[in-house]
Structure 1
Amino acid sequence: MNAASFTKEEINPLHSIEQWEDDVLERYPEADAPAKAKEEFRNYDNPGRDTVREFYRLNHQYQTYDFVMEKRKDFLQFNRKKLKVWEAMEFLNTLVDDSDPDIELDQLQHLLQTAEAIRADGHPDWFILTGFIHDMGKVLCLFGEPQWAVVGDTFPVGCAHSDKIVYPEFFSANPDSKDERYNTKYGVYEHGCGLDNVHMSWGHDEYLYQIVKDYMPEPSLYMIRYHSFYSQHRENAYDHLLNDHDRKMFDWVRKFNPYDLYSKSPKPPVVSELKSYYEDLIAKYLPEEVCL
């Protein structure tokens, strides 16, 4: 199933891919947000959220076990582009935000904000680099992939869908929900099998993990691979699949999450002043070029 199988509206149900992240921020506001506000954020029947609902309808319908296997077979050949990491970030920056409010920052500036917030708090340099590159996998959109196969809450495929995932009712249209191989609590997995043995829905998290898995420290790889797995690191919905090592590593995912959600501001970082620092950081951990 490729992009040609879908209409323009099915490929791009959101005004921009950032609309998904804005919705996540509403679902999981900062800890000190008023209790009433938190309840209001969970009002998914607000007509203004129609595009988000449509995004999740498509995501939940089409992210099947077979779909994920096909995407892995296709994209993990890494035969589309070979670029320096900074060039790949600039390539990502060509992803235009059609909503285009004046205070919106481009992709590179958002990622620099995340990384600079991590840096200001004195975290290790690999943690800073993780903040900078963690959304680089969104280049999938630039290869013609539907938004719902690039961003969105991630979840295991090959087993029952948790009701802790946003809009769980939309999974009723997913063929796996009626397939006895995949619709039980464990599906194709076993208790405590560990997430390395679990296939996640396809998107920018898994794609970037596969690109950098031989280079970055393990805590960084967990942050990259599971930062959109909200039903686990916020709701513990799939604890039965995790092993003890996963639970330990998820402490890093939870440490990263506030920087991913709450570090954005309308004040743009000065890219020219930061480029040298980040190029040196990239050179320390990653190869000169990466294959996309």
Structure 2
Amino acid sequence: MSNLDLKPAPNLCGGNGRTGPVRDVQPGKLVPLGESTVVRRLLPNLGRRMVGAWCFVDHYGPDDIADEPGMQVPPHPHMGLQTVSWLREGEVLHRDSLGSVQTVRPRELGLMTSGRAIAHSEESPHGHAPLLHGAQLWVALPGEHRDAAPAFEHHAELPVISGGGGLSATVILGELAGATSPGTTYSPLVGADLTLAAGTDTRLPVDPDFEYAALAISGESEIDGIRLAPGALLYLGCGRNELPLRADSDSSLMLLGGEPFEEDIVMWWNFIGRTHEDIAQARADWTDGSRFGKVQGYDGAPLSAPELPPLPLKPRGRAR
């Protein structure tokens, strides 16, 4: 998924060590995406840029697209990151410059590693389901892997664990409670889809060295005593051995976590680099048609890169 902002702000993030347990609610910002989709952008936000290596989180839907084209995101580039596609309802057709063509469906992992360069498009296929609901996330690649070969993975089967007390968890990426996703990772992290049945009152074991955040997907759940409405993100910090979870009605959320990302990075448009020169070169390469390749089969023109800001982009530590 792309950042379609025509004047994207430079996101200066990373570094700055660890925080103890906190309970910081972020409501999200409404952002148009493509022709007919509006998303709630949870990361980056004014108070927080990253959760572990997770650096971008969009939550969309549930949207009634029965008589609409649905998601239509033209070919666009990525560099220095992984994209994670996660659906609760609907389907998204992925195409990329490696030649991958894959429809991603609910509870299936679509994982794209951009590495040094890749381009892709995302669209609701013809004859799509009437509802679209899901999340799109990015993971920053650490320095030693940011020039890795681009790749796409599709995993239809993911491990599911039961935490007891009404909790079921699908491990999307990384490891949780002894279960490990087949998706490729480059830093210690976790992403999981948690389903809480009505009456859930339990505690989920977590890693005290990880920082965590919870994104409410549907229903209202209570995380560490904080009631969270759908579309909101609760940043939890580090230092927990377990996470209390409660729900009075059926609900679901995403749990994101990882070791705090210690590197300074610059995130601009759909690129992650370490210097202004990294970003400027990536933009030039996309504009002149080199390096990123072409996406075949999408009915439409690729996205044009926005203009760079007037001042040089500077990498800094995590903004507080």
Q: TM-score, normalised by structure 2?
A: 0.23
Q: Which has a greater percent of strand?
A: 2
Q: TM-score, normalised by structure 1?
A: 0.24
Q: Which has a greater percent of helix?
A: 1
